[in-house]
Structure 1
Amino acid sequence: MTERTRGRPRTFDRDRAVLDAARLFWRRGYSGTSTRALTAALGLSTSSLYAAFGSKAGLFEEAVRTYAERYREIYQQAVGEKDIPTVVERVLLDSVHEFTQPSDTHPGCLISSAVMTDSTSTLDTSAYIAELHRSNEQALFGRIERAVRDGQLAAGTDPAALTGLVQSVWHGLSVRSNGDTPREDLLATARLAHRMICRQLTSPPRA
Protein backbone atom coordinates (compact mmCIF):
# COMPACT_ATOMS: atom_id res chain seq x y z
CA MET A 1 0.00 0.00 0.00
CA THR A 2 1.45 3.36 -1.02
CA GLU A 3 -1.53 5.67 -0.62
CA ARG A 4 -0.34 9.14 0.36
CA THR A 5 -2.33 10.38 3.30
CA ARG A 6 -1.38 13.35 5.41
CA GLY A 7 0.48 12.24 8.54
CA ARG A 8 1.83 9.03 6.99
CA PRO A 9 5.26 8.34 5.51
CA ARG A 10 5.37 8.31 1.69
CA THR A 11 6.13 4.56 1.66
CA PHE A 12 3.72 3.55 4.42
CA ASP A 13 3.05 -0.21 4.23
CA ARG A 14 -0.05 -1.01 6.25
CA ASP A 15 0.32 -4.78 6.09
CA ARG A 16 3.91 -4.58 7.34
CA ALA A 17 2.90 -2.18 10.11
CA VAL A 18 0.14 -4.52 11.29
CA LEU A 19 2.57 -7.47 11.24
CA ASP A 20 5.23 -5.61 13.22
CA ALA A 21 2.64 -4.44 15.75
CA ALA A 22 1.21 -7.95 16.04
CA ARG A 23 4.61 -9.32 16.98
CA LEU A 24 4.81 -6.89 19.90
CA PHE A 25 1.23 -7.50 21.03
CA TRP A 26 1.59 -11.30 20.83
CA ARG A 27 4.77 -11.17 22.92
CA ARG A 28 3.83 -8.51 25.49
CA GLY A 29 0.05 -8.28 25.43
CA TYR A 30 -1.89 -5.09 24.82
CA SER A 31 -1.17 -3.36 28.13
CA GLY A 32 2.49 -4.32 28.03
CA THR A 33 3.00 -2.74 24.61
CA SER A 34 3.51 1.00 24.86
CA THR A 35 2.73 3.47 22.11
CA ARG A 36 6.42 4.40 22.18
CA ALA A 37 7.40 0.79 21.52
CA LEU A 38 4.94 0.62 18.65
CA THR A 39 6.15 3.80 16.98
CA ALA A 40 9.74 2.60 17.28
CA ALA A 41 8.95 -0.82 15.79
CA LEU A 42 6.81 0.59 12.99
CA GLY A 43 9.03 3.56 12.19
CA LEU A 44 6.09 5.94 12.62
CA SER A 45 5.56 9.05 14.64
CA THR A 46 2.73 9.01 17.18
CA SER A 47 0.66 11.30 14.96
CA SER A 48 1.23 9.02 11.95
CA LEU A 49 0.20 5.95 13.94
CA TYR A 50 -3.02 7.67 15.02
CA ALA A 51 -3.69 8.90 11.48
CA ALA A 52 -3.35 5.37 10.12
CA PHE A 53 -5.14 3.35 12.82
CA GLY A 54 -7.07 5.83 14.95
CA SER A 55 -5.45 4.71 18.18
CA LYS A 56 -3.30 2.03 19.75
CA ALA A 57 -6.54 0.11 20.39
CA GLY A 58 -7.50 0.39 16.74
CA LEU A 59 -4.16 -1.02 15.67
CA PHE A 60 -4.49 -3.86 18.17
CA GLU A 61 -7.97 -4.77 16.91
CA GLU A 62 -6.81 -4.80 13.30
CA ALA A 63 -3.86 -7.02 14.20
CA VAL A 64 -6.01 -9.51 16.09
CA ARG A 65 -8.65 -9.74 13.39
CA THR A 66 -6.10 -9.95 10.58
CA TYR A 67 -4.35 -12.99 12.00
CA ALA A 68 -7.22 -14.70 13.83
CA GLU A 69 -9.78 -14.72 11.03
CA ARG A 70 -7.52 -16.95 8.97
CA TYR A 71 -8.42 -19.85 11.28
CA ARG A 72 -12.11 -19.33 10.62
CA GLU A 73 -11.33 -19.50 6.90
CA ILE A 74 -9.44 -22.77 7.40
CA TYR A 75 -12.41 -24.40 9.11
CA GLN A 76 -14.91 -23.10 6.58
CA GLN A 77 -12.82 -24.47 3.73
CA ALA A 78 -12.22 -27.78 5.51
CA VAL A 79 -15.88 -28.56 6.23
CA GLY A 80 -16.62 -28.12 2.53
CA GLU A 81 -14.57 -31.23 1.71
CA LYS A 82 -16.50 -34.28 0.53
CA ASP A 83 -15.42 -36.77 3.21
CA ILE A 84 -14.62 -36.61 6.92
CA PRO A 85 -11.03 -37.94 6.68
CA THR A 86 -10.23 -35.01 4.41
CA VAL A 87 -12.09 -32.57 6.66
CA VAL A 88 -10.02 -33.59 9.69
CA GLU A 89 -6.82 -33.61 7.66
CA ARG A 90 -7.43 -30.10 6.34
CA VAL A 91 -8.32 -28.70 9.78
CA LEU A 92 -5.14 -30.05 11.37
CA LEU A 93 -2.58 -29.75 8.60
CA ASP A 94 -3.71 -26.41 7.21
CA SER A 95 -3.71 -24.99 10.74
CA VAL A 96 -0.15 -26.22 11.33
CA HIS A 97 0.95 -24.51 8.14
CA GLU A 98 -0.71 -21.32 9.37
CA PHE A 99 0.82 -21.62 12.86
CA THR A 100 4.27 -21.96 11.35
CA GLN A 101 4.25 -19.32 8.64
CA PRO A 102 7.68 -17.69 8.17
CA SER A 103 8.32 -15.06 10.83
CA ASP A 104 8.82 -12.38 8.21
CA THR A 105 5.20 -12.75 7.10
CA HIS A 106 3.39 -13.93 10.24
CA PRO A 107 3.57 -13.15 13.98
CA GLY A 108 2.74 -16.67 15.19
CA CYS A 109 -0.41 -18.17 16.67
CA LEU A 110 -2.15 -15.71 18.99
CA ILE A 111 -4.29 -18.37 20.66
CA SER A 112 -1.63 -19.23 23.25
CA SER A 113 0.19 -15.89 23.27
CA ALA A 114 0.26 -12.93 25.67
CA VAL A 115 -2.52 -11.24 23.72
CA MET A 116 -5.03 -13.68 25.23
CA THR A 117 -4.68 -12.15 28.67
CA ASP A 118 -5.49 -8.63 27.52
CA SER A 119 -8.29 -6.53 26.10
CA THR A 120 -9.09 -2.98 25.07
CA SER A 121 -12.08 -0.69 25.11
CA THR A 122 -12.79 -1.66 21.49
CA LEU A 123 -12.09 -5.39 21.54
CA ASP A 124 -12.54 -7.89 24.36
CA THR A 125 -9.88 -10.32 23.15
CA SER A 126 -10.96 -13.27 25.25
CA ALA A 127 -14.58 -12.90 24.12
CA TYR A 128 -13.52 -12.54 20.50
CA ILE A 129 -11.33 -15.66 20.59
CA ALA A 130 -14.05 -17.59 22.44
CA GLU A 131 -16.52 -16.67 19.69
CA LEU A 132 -13.99 -17.74 17.07
CA HIS A 133 -13.57 -21.12 18.76
CA ARG A 134 -17.35 -21.58 19.04
CA SER A 135 -17.80 -20.77 15.37
CA ASN A 136 -15.10 -23.25 14.34
CA GLU A 137 -16.39 -25.97 16.63
CA GLN A 138 -19.97 -25.52 15.45
CA ALA A 139 -18.88 -25.75 11.82
CA LEU A 140 -16.94 -28.96 12.50
CA PHE A 141 -19.70 -30.43 14.68
CA GLY A 142 -22.32 -29.82 12.00
CA ARG A 143 -20.14 -31.46 9.36
CA ILE A 144 -19.53 -34.51 11.57
CA GLU A 145 -23.25 -34.83 12.31
CA ARG A 146 -23.93 -34.85 8.57
CA ALA A 147 -21.25 -37.49 8.05
CA VAL A 148 -22.92 -39.76 10.62
CA ARG A 149 -26.29 -39.32 8.89
CA ASP A 150 -24.73 -40.03 5.49
CA GLY A 151 -22.96 -43.18 6.68
CA GLN A 152 -19.44 -41.76 6.35
CA LEU A 153 -18.88 -42.46 10.03
CA ALA A 154 -19.89 -45.51 12.02
CA ALA A 155 -23.36 -45.47 13.51
CA GLY A 156 -23.14 -44.46 17.15
CA THR A 157 -20.26 -42.05 16.58
CA ASP A 158 -20.61 -39.17 19.06
CA PRO A 159 -20.24 -35.93 17.05
CA ALA A 160 -19.56 -33.88 20.18
CA ALA A 161 -16.82 -36.23 21.37
CA LEU A 162 -15.17 -36.38 17.94
CA THR A 163 -15.31 -32.60 17.61
CA GLY A 164 -13.76 -32.28 21.07
CA LEU A 165 -10.97 -34.67 20.12
CA VAL A 166 -10.07 -32.77 16.96
CA GLN A 167 -10.20 -29.46 18.82
CA SER A 168 -8.00 -30.81 21.61
CA VAL A 169 -5.37 -31.86 19.08
CA TRP A 170 -5.68 -28.45 17.38
CA HIS A 171 -5.08 -26.56 20.63
CA GLY A 172 -2.12 -28.75 21.51
CA LEU A 173 -0.55 -28.05 18.14
CA SER A 174 -1.15 -24.33 18.65
CA VAL A 175 0.61 -24.32 22.02
CA ARG A 176 3.55 -26.32 20.70
CA SER A 177 3.92 -24.01 17.71
CA ASN A 178 4.43 -21.05 20.04
CA GLY A 179 7.10 -23.09 21.78
CA ASP A 180 9.12 -23.10 18.55
CA THR A 181 8.43 -26.74 17.72
CA PRO A 182 9.53 -27.25 14.10
CA ARG A 183 6.84 -27.41 11.43
CA GLU A 184 7.77 -30.95 10.39
CA ASP A 185 7.38 -32.20 13.97
CA LEU A 186 3.95 -30.59 14.24
CA LEU A 187 2.92 -32.00 10.88
CA ALA A 188 4.05 -35.48 11.95
CA THR A 189 1.89 -35.21 15.07
CA ALA A 190 -1.07 -33.91 13.08
CA ARG A 191 -0.77 -36.73 10.54
CA LEU A 192 -0.56 -39.38 13.26
CA ALA A 193 -3.62 -37.95 15.02
CA HIS A 194 -5.46 -37.89 11.71
CA ARG A 195 -4.64 -41.53 10.97
CA MET A 196 -5.66 -42.67 14.45
CA ILE A 197 -8.96 -40.80 14.32
CA CYS A 198 -9.83 -42.11 10.87
CA ARG A 199 -8.82 -45.68 11.69
CA GLN A 200 -11.20 -45.78 14.63
CA LEU A 201 -14.17 -43.88 13.28
CA THR A 202 -14.48 -44.35 9.52
CA SER A 203 -17.07 -46.97 8.70
CA PRO A 204 -16.29 -49.76 6.21
CA PRO A 205 -17.40 -49.16 2.62
CA ARG A 206 -21.01 -50.07 1.88
CA ALA A 207 -21.65 -52.99 -0.45
Structure 2
Amino acid sequence: MHQRTRGRPRAFDRDRAILEAARLFWRRGYSGTSTRALTEALGLSTSSLYAAFGSKAGLFEEAVRTYAERYREIYQQAVAERDLRTVVERILIDSVHEFTRSSDVHPGCLLSSAAMTDRTSTLDTSAYYAELQGWNEQTLLARVERAIRDGEPELDEEVAAGVDAAALTGVVQSVVHGLSVQANLGTAREGLLATARLAHKLICRQLTSPAS
Protein backbone atom coordinates (compact mmCIF):
# COMPACT_ATOMS: atom_id res chain seq x y z
CA MET A 1 0.00 0.00 0.00
CA HIS A 2 1.12 3.49 -0.78
CA GLN A 3 1.02 5.83 2.17
CA ARG A 4 -0.95 8.98 1.40
CA THR A 5 1.10 12.10 1.75
CA ARG A 6 -0.36 15.25 3.19
CA GLY A 7 -0.70 17.98 0.58
CA ARG A 8 1.04 21.26 1.07
CA PRO A 9 -1.21 23.87 2.69
CA ARG A 10 -2.61 26.39 0.28
CA ALA A 11 -0.68 29.65 0.38
CA PHE A 12 -2.65 32.50 1.91
CA ASP A 13 -3.78 34.94 -0.75
CA ARG A 14 -5.08 38.04 1.00
CA ASP A 15 -6.67 39.56 -2.09
CA ARG A 16 -8.50 36.33 -2.89
CA ALA A 17 -9.64 36.01 0.73
CA ILE A 18 -11.07 39.54 0.66
CA LEU A 19 -12.86 38.80 -2.62
CA GLU A 20 -14.44 35.60 -1.27
CA ALA A 21 -15.46 37.35 1.93
CA ALA A 22 -16.94 40.27 -0.02
CA ARG A 23 -19.08 37.86 -2.03
CA LEU A 24 -20.60 36.54 1.19
CA PHE A 25 -21.05 39.96 2.76
CA TRP A 26 -22.56 41.40 -0.43
CA ARG A 27 -25.06 38.53 -0.58
CA ARG A 28 -25.92 38.08 3.11
CA GLY A 29 -24.84 41.30 4.79
CA TYR A 30 -22.48 41.58 7.73
CA SER A 31 -25.01 40.34 10.30
CA GLY A 32 -26.09 37.43 8.12
CA THR A 33 -22.57 36.16 7.46
CA SER A 34 -21.27 33.86 10.18
CA THR A 35 -17.62 33.42 11.07
CA ARG A 36 -18.03 29.74 10.21
CA ALA A 37 -19.27 30.59 6.72
CA LEU A 38 -16.26 32.86 6.25
CA THR A 39 -13.71 30.29 7.39
CA GLU A 40 -15.25 27.68 5.09
CA ALA A 41 -15.28 30.02 2.10
CA LEU A 42 -11.75 31.28 2.71
CA GLY A 43 -10.27 27.92 3.69
CA LEU A 44 -8.95 29.37 6.94
CA SER A 45 -9.25 28.40 10.55
CA THR A 46 -10.92 30.88 12.89
CA SER A 47 -7.57 31.68 14.48
CA SER A 48 -5.98 32.30 11.08
CA LEU A 49 -8.85 34.56 10.04
CA TYR A 50 -8.46 36.60 13.22
CA ALA A 51 -4.68 36.72 12.82
CA ALA A 52 -5.03 38.07 9.28
CA PHE A 53 -7.90 40.54 9.76
CA GLY A 54 -8.27 41.07 13.50
CA SER A 55 -11.94 40.12 13.56
CA LYS A 56 -14.97 39.46 11.39
CA ALA A 57 -15.66 43.21 11.55
CA GLY A 58 -12.11 43.94 10.42
CA LEU A 59 -12.53 41.66 7.42
CA PHE A 60 -15.88 43.25 6.56
CA GLU A 61 -14.48 46.76 6.73
CA GLU A 62 -11.47 45.86 4.59
CA ALA A 63 -13.72 44.23 2.00
CA VAL A 64 -16.01 47.29 1.82
CA ARG A 65 -13.14 49.75 1.57
CA THR A 66 -11.20 47.65 -0.94
CA TYR A 67 -14.00 47.56 -3.49
CA ALA A 68 -15.68 50.89 -2.77
CA GLU A 69 -12.39 52.80 -3.02
CA ARG A 70 -12.10 51.74 -6.65
CA TYR A 71 -14.78 54.32 -7.44
CA ARG A 72 -12.74 57.05 -5.77
CA GLU A 73 -9.73 56.02 -7.87
CA ILE A 74 -11.76 56.46 -11.06
CA TYR A 75 -12.46 60.08 -10.21
CA GLN A 76 -8.95 60.77 -8.95
CA GLN A 77 -7.46 59.57 -12.21
CA ALA A 78 -10.07 61.24 -14.40
CA VAL A 79 -9.77 64.75 -12.96
CA ALA A 80 -6.02 64.65 -13.59
CA GLU A 81 -6.67 64.68 -17.35
CA ARG A 82 -5.74 67.84 -19.27
CA ASP A 83 -9.17 68.72 -20.65
CA LEU A 84 -12.74 68.49 -19.40
CA ARG A 85 -13.97 66.38 -22.29
CA THR A 86 -11.50 63.65 -21.39
CA VAL A 87 -12.34 63.98 -17.69
CA VAL A 88 -16.00 63.23 -18.40
CA GLU A 89 -15.12 60.45 -20.83
CA ARG A 90 -12.83 58.73 -18.34
CA ILE A 91 -15.43 58.86 -15.58
CA LEU A 92 -18.16 57.37 -17.75
CA ILE A 93 -16.13 54.74 -19.58
CA ASP A 94 -14.02 53.66 -16.60
CA SER A 95 -17.16 53.39 -14.46
CA VAL A 96 -18.71 51.01 -16.99
CA HIS A 97 -15.61 48.83 -16.94
CA GLU A 98 -15.70 48.79 -13.14
CA PHE A 99 -19.42 47.94 -13.03
CA THR A 100 -18.93 45.04 -15.46
CA ARG A 101 -15.74 43.46 -14.18
CA SER A 102 -15.61 39.67 -14.22
CA SER A 103 -17.01 37.93 -11.16
CA ASP A 104 -13.63 36.20 -10.91
CA VAL A 105 -12.11 39.47 -9.71
CA HIS A 106 -15.09 41.44 -8.43
CA PRO A 107 -17.84 40.61 -5.90
CA GLY A 108 -20.52 42.80 -7.49
CA CYS A 109 -21.93 46.26 -6.89
CA LEU A 110 -21.88 47.31 -3.25
CA LEU A 111 -24.80 49.71 -3.72
CA SER A 112 -27.23 46.87 -4.47
CA SER A 113 -25.84 44.45 -1.89
CA ALA A 114 -27.14 43.35 1.50
CA ALA A 115 -24.00 44.83 3.06
CA MET A 116 -25.37 48.34 2.48
CA THR A 117 -27.82 47.93 5.37
CA ASP A 118 -25.18 46.84 7.87
CA ARG A 119 -22.63 48.44 10.12
CA THR A 120 -19.88 47.58 12.57
CA SER A 121 -18.74 49.61 15.57
CA THR A 122 -16.52 51.72 13.31
CA LEU A 123 -18.07 51.53 9.82
CA ASP A 124 -21.63 52.34 8.78
CA THR A 125 -21.64 51.03 5.22
CA SER A 126 -24.45 53.23 3.94
CA ALA A 127 -22.96 56.38 5.47
CA TYR A 128 -19.50 55.47 4.21
CA TYR A 129 -20.76 54.96 0.66
CA ALA A 130 -22.70 58.23 0.81
CA GLU A 131 -19.54 60.03 1.93
CA LEU A 132 -17.60 58.42 -0.90
CA GLN A 133 -20.18 59.49 -3.47
CA GLY A 134 -20.16 63.00 -2.03
CA TRP A 135 -16.38 63.10 -2.33
CA ASN A 136 -16.55 61.98 -5.96
CA GLU A 137 -19.13 64.64 -6.76
CA GLN A 138 -17.16 67.42 -5.08
CA THR A 139 -13.97 66.32 -6.83
CA LEU A 140 -15.66 66.49 -10.22
CA LEU A 141 -17.36 69.78 -9.40
CA ALA A 142 -14.02 71.37 -8.47
CA ARG A 143 -12.53 70.16 -11.77
CA VAL A 144 -15.44 71.56 -13.80
CA GLU A 145 -15.18 74.91 -12.02
CA ARG A 146 -11.45 75.03 -12.72
CA ALA A 147 -12.00 74.30 -16.40
CA ILE A 148 -14.50 77.15 -16.67
CA ARG A 149 -12.40 79.56 -14.62
CA ASP A 150 -9.12 78.86 -16.41
CA GLY A 151 -10.62 78.73 -19.89
CA GLU A 152 -9.18 75.44 -21.11
CA PRO A 153 -8.15 75.69 -24.80
CA GLU A 154 -10.71 73.21 -26.14
CA LEU A 155 -13.59 74.69 -24.15
CA ASP A 156 -15.71 77.22 -26.02
CA GLU A 157 -15.21 80.40 -23.99
CA GLU A 158 -18.63 81.92 -24.66
CA VAL A 159 -20.48 78.74 -23.84
CA ALA A 160 -18.31 77.93 -20.83
CA ALA A 161 -19.16 81.29 -19.29
CA GLY A 162 -22.81 80.23 -19.15
CA VAL A 163 -22.24 76.69 -17.89
CA ASP A 164 -23.70 75.80 -14.52
CA ALA A 165 -20.89 73.73 -13.01
CA ALA A 166 -23.14 72.11 -10.41
CA ALA A 167 -25.73 71.17 -13.03
CA LEU A 168 -23.09 69.70 -15.34
CA THR A 169 -21.66 67.69 -12.47
CA GLY A 170 -25.14 66.49 -11.60
CA VAL A 171 -25.71 65.28 -15.16
CA VAL A 172 -22.49 63.26 -15.16
CA GLN A 173 -23.30 61.78 -11.75
CA SER A 174 -26.82 60.89 -12.84
CA VAL A 175 -25.48 59.07 -15.90
CA VAL A 176 -22.97 57.16 -13.77
CA HIS A 177 -25.66 56.09 -11.31
CA GLY A 178 -27.95 55.08 -14.16
CA LEU A 179 -25.21 52.97 -15.71
CA SER A 180 -24.71 51.27 -12.35
CA VAL A 181 -28.40 50.37 -12.15
CA GLN A 182 -28.36 49.03 -15.71
CA ALA A 183 -25.29 46.95 -14.95
CA ASN A 184 -27.02 45.46 -11.90
CA LEU A 185 -29.97 44.55 -14.09
CA GLY A 186 -27.67 42.61 -16.39
CA THR A 187 -27.06 44.98 -19.30
CA ALA A 188 -23.95 43.86 -21.17
CA ARG A 189 -20.79 45.93 -21.17
CA GLU A 190 -21.07 46.89 -24.84
CA GLY A 191 -24.57 48.24 -24.33
CA LEU A 192 -23.45 50.28 -21.36
CA LEU A 193 -20.44 51.61 -23.27
CA ALA A 194 -22.71 52.70 -26.12
CA THR A 195 -24.88 54.61 -23.63
CA ALA A 196 -21.82 56.15 -21.97
CA ARG A 197 -20.37 57.29 -25.30
CA LEU A 198 -23.63 58.88 -26.38
CA ALA A 199 -23.96 60.67 -23.05
CA HIS A 200 -20.39 61.91 -23.38
CA LYS A 201 -21.06 63.18 -26.88
CA LEU A 202 -24.18 65.06 -25.79
CA ILE A 203 -22.44 66.61 -22.79
CA CYS A 204 -19.47 67.74 -24.87
CA ARG A 205 -21.80 69.26 -27.44
CA GLN A 206 -23.15 71.58 -24.76
CA LEU A 207 -19.62 72.73 -23.98
CA THR A 208 -18.52 73.47 -27.52
CA SER A 209 -21.55 74.54 -29.53
CA PRO A 210 -22.84 78.13 -29.57
CA ALA A 211 -26.11 78.57 -27.72
CA SER A 212 -29.09 78.36 -30.01
Q: Give the alignment partner of residue 177 of structure 2, picking from 160, 171, 184.
A: 171
Matches within 5 A, 1:57-136: 57-136=57-136
Tell me: CA distance 1:202–1:24, structure 2 relative to 1, closer, same or farther (3 Å).
farther
Report what 1:161 is aligned to. Answer: 167
Amino acid at match of 1:83: D
TM-score (norm 1): 0.89
Q: What displacement does 1:164 show? A: 0.7
The whole-number CA distance in structure 1 between the counterparts of 2:113 and 2:98 is 15
The whole-number CA distance in structure 2 between the counterparts of 1:36 and 1:178 is 29
Amino acid at match of 2:27: R
Consecutive aligned runs of 4 or more in structure 1 exceeding 4 Å deviation: none
Q: What displacement does 1:122 show? A: 2.2
State the aligned residue count: 196
CA RMSD of aligned residues (A): 1.5
User: Does residue 182 of the first structure (1) align with residue 188 of the second (2)?
Assistant: yes
Identical counterparts, % of pairs: 80
Q: What displacement does 1:84 show? A: 1.1
The whole-number CA distance in structure 2 between the counterparts of 1:150 and 1:142 is 12
Q: What displacement does 1:203 show? A: 4.9
Q: What displacement does 1:70 show? A: 1.3
The whole-number CA distance in structure 1 between the counterparts of 2:179 and 2:60 is 25
Q: Which has the higher mean CA deviation after the structures are superposed, 85-94 or 117-126? A: 117-126
The whole-number CA distance in structure 2 between the counterparts of 1:184 and 1:10 is 37
TM-score (norm 2): 0.87
Q: What displacement does 1:171 show? A: 0.9
Q: Gapped runs of 5+ residues in structure 2?
A: 1-8
Report what 1:16 is aligned to. Answer: 16
Report what 2:6 is aligned to. Answer: none
Report what 1:192 is aligned to. Answer: 198
